[in-house]
C-alpha cells in the first residue's frame, strides 16, 4: 500500500510539474506560439486547454485571421463569431486582420460591419479576400481610417470610391483583380492616400476603367499586371515623381503605357508577353540604373538614338531567337553597363536552333570596351550554334571583364566536359577574367 501511494504521489507530482511549466512560460512566448495557429484554434486553445490564467490571452494576439470556409460555417454564424471576437479584443492596436470571405457564408452587410469593427480597434493592416457570390461593394464609410497602414484587397470586390477619402497613414496598397466603378473612383482613391509608397495593381480582363491613372507624388514602388484585351484606348498613365522601382507584367496586350516625369526611377522590371500598342515604353526609362527585360522586339518599340546613360546592370531573358537583336540594341545603347546577366528559363531548344544567326553590332559597344566587369549566363544552352557565337563575341571584345559565369542544369557529365572545353577555347581579351562553370 505504501509503495502504491508513493507511485501515485509521483504521478500527481509529474502532472503538477507539467502544469507549472506551461504556466511559467512568458506571455510573449505563448502569444508567439498561438500566432502560428489559425485564429479559431488559438481561441479554442486558450479557452479550453490552457489554465484560466490564459483564457483571455488570445485577445492580445497581434495578428488575427478568419476564414468563412473554415469549419464549415453556416450563413450568419461566421459574422457572429468573428464580430464577437473583434469586440472582445483588448490590445490597444490590432496589427493585422485577414478576412477570407465567401459571400454565401457572410453577406456584404456583415462583411462591412466586421471591417468597421476592425477600424475601431486601430487596425494597422487589413487583408480582404472575397470569393463566390456577387461582388462586395466597399462601403464609403470604410475609406476613412487614420490608423490603416497596409491594405490588400482581392477578387470579387467593386470599389466605388467617394470624393472624400482619408487614408493618411496608408503606405502599402495591393489590389488584385478588383474593379472600380469608373476612372473617377481610381483618382479619388489615390488622392486620398497622400503617403502611399508601395502600390501593386493586378487588373482583370473586364474592367470599367479605360485609363488607369496612378498619380501619387509619394509613390516609390509600383507593380502592375494586366490581362486586358488589346485596345488602343485602354492602358496606364503613371505620374509618380518619387518612383524608384517599377515592375510591369503584361500577360496580354496593353493599349498604352505612358510614364511621365520619373527623375528618381532606379530599377525597372519588364515582363511583356504580348504587344504594347502605340507606346514608347523603353524611351521613358533612360535614367534607370538596373533593368530586367523579358520581352520580344516585336512586342515593344525600341526608339532610335535612345541612350541609357546610367544603366549599369542588365538582366535579359533569351528564350526566343528575336531576343538577340534586342540585346544588340541594348548593348549599343548602354555605354556604362558593368553587369550583364543572360537567362534562359526554357527547358526546350528553340525550333530554329541551327538556323538563326546573331547580328553582331557593327562597332564594338562602348560598354564592352571600357566598363563591363561581370558576365553571367544562367541556363546556358551550350549546344546551340548561335549561342556560342554570342559568347565568343562578348568574351573576345570585353577589355575589363573580371568574371564570367556559366550555369547549365540537366546535362550529363559528358556534355558538361564538352561545354567546359568549348568555353575554355574562347580567346578572351581580358587577361584577368575568371571563368566559372557551374
Confidence of residue 350 (pLDDT cuts 50, 70, 90): very low
* Highest-scoring range by mean pLDDT, 111-125, 131-145, 275-289: 111-125
Higher local confidence (pLDDT), 407 or 33: 407
What's the rounded Cα separation, in Å, for the pair 314 and 342? 8
The whole-number average pLDDT for the span 221-226 is 92
Please check whether residue 344 lies inside any domain of the structure: yes
Query: How do residues 379-398 score in pLDDT, each as one tens digit?
Result: 887 666 678 888 889 999 99
> Considering its fold, how many domains does the chain have in total?
1
Q: Is 236 a domain residue?
A: no
In a domain, 109, yes or no: no
What's the rounded Cα separation, in Å, for the pair 344 and 322?
13
Q: Is residue 364 part of a domain?
A: yes
156 and 176 Cβ atoms separated by less than 8 Å? no
In the chain the first and final C-alpha atoms are separated, in Å, by: 73
pLDDT single digits (tens) 87-113: 999 999 999 999 999 888 888 999 999
The residue segments making up the domain with residue 344 are 307-438
3-class secondary-structure state, position 244: coil
pTM (two decimals): 0.85
User: Is residue 331 situated within a structural domain?
Assistant: yes
- Residue 264 domain-assigned (yes or no): no
Residue 403 in domain = yes
* In a domain? residue 227: no
Instruction: Give the Cα separation of 201 and 194 in Å (integer).
Output: 18
Report the alpha-carbon distance of residue 102 to residue 132 in Å, rounded: 6
Amino acid at each position: 500500500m505504501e509503495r502504491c501511494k508513493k507511485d501515485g504521489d509521483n504521478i500527481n507530482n509529474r502532472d503538477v510539474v507539467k502544469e507549472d511549466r506551461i504556466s511559467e512560460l512568458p506571455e510573449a512566448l505563448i502569444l508567439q506560439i498561438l500566432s502560428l495557429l489559425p485564429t479559431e484554434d488559438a481561441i479554442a486553445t486558450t479557452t479550453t486547454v490552457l489554465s484560466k490564467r490564459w483564457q483571455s490571452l488570445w485577445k492580445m494576439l497581434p495578428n488575427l485571421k478568419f476564414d468563412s470556409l473554415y469549419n464549415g460555417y453556416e450563413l450568419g454564424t461566421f459574422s457572429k463569431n468573428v464580430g464577437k471576437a473583434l469586440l472582445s479584443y483588448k490590445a490597444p492596436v490590432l496589427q493585422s486582420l485577414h478576412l477570407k470571405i465567401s459571400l454565401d457564408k457572410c453577406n456584404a452587410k456583415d462583411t462591412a460591419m466586421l471591417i468597421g469593427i476592425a477600424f475601431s480597434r486601430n487596425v494597422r493592416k487589413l487583408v480582404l479576400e472575397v470569393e463566390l457570390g456577387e461582388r462586395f461593394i466597399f462601403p464609403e464609410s470604410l475609406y476613412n481610417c487614420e490608423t490603416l497602414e497596409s491594405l490588400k484587397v482581392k477578387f470579387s470586390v467593386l470599389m466605388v470610391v467617394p470624393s472624400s477619402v482619408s487614408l493618411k497613414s496608408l503606405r502599402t496598397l495591393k489590389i488584385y483583380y478588383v474593379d472600380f466603378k469608373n476612372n473617377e473612383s481610381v483618382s479619388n482613391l489615390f488622392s486620398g492616400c497622400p503617403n502611399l509608397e508601395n502600390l501593386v495593381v493586378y487588373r482583370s480582363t473586364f474592367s470599367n476603367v479605360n485609363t488607369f491613372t496612378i498619380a501619387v507624388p509619394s509613390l516609390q514602388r509600383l507593380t502592375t499586371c494586366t490581362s486586358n484585351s488589346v485596345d488602343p484606348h485602354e492602358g496606364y498613365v503613371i505620374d509618380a515623381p518619387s518612383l524608384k522601382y517599377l515592375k510591369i507584367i503584361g500577360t496580354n496586350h496593353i493599349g498604352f503605357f505612358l510614364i511621365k516625369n520619373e527623375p528618381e526611377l532606379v530599377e525597372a522590371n519588364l515582363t511583356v508577353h504580348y504587344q504594347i500598342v502605340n507606346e514608347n515604353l523603353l524611351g521613358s526609362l533612360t535614367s534607370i540604373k538596373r533593368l530586367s527585360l523579358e520581352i520580344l522586339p516585336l512586342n515593344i518599340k525600341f526608339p532610335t538614338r535612345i541612350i541609357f546613360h546610367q544603366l549599369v546592370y542588365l538582366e535579359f531573358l533569351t528564350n526566343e531567337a528575336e531576343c538577340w537583336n534586342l540585346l544588340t540594341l541594348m548593348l549599343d545603347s548602354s555605354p556604362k553597363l558593368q553587369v550583364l546577366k543572360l537567362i534562359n528559363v526554357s527547358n526546350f531548344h528553340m525550333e530554329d536552333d541551327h538556323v538563326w544567326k546573331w547580328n553582331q553590332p557593327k562597332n564594338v559597344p562602348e560598354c564592352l570596351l571600357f566598363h563591363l566587369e561581370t558576365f553571367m549566363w544562367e541556363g546556358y544552352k551550350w549546344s546551340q550554334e548561335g549561342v556560342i557565337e554570342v559568347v565568343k563575341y562578348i568574351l573576345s571584345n570585353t577589355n575589363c571583364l573580371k568574371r564570367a559565369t556559366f550555369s547549365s542544369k540537366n546535362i550529363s557529365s559528358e556534355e558538361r566536359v564538352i561545354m567546359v572545353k568549348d568555353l575554355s577555347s574562347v580567346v578572351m581579351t581580358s587577361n584577368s577574367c575568371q571563368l566559372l562553370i557551374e
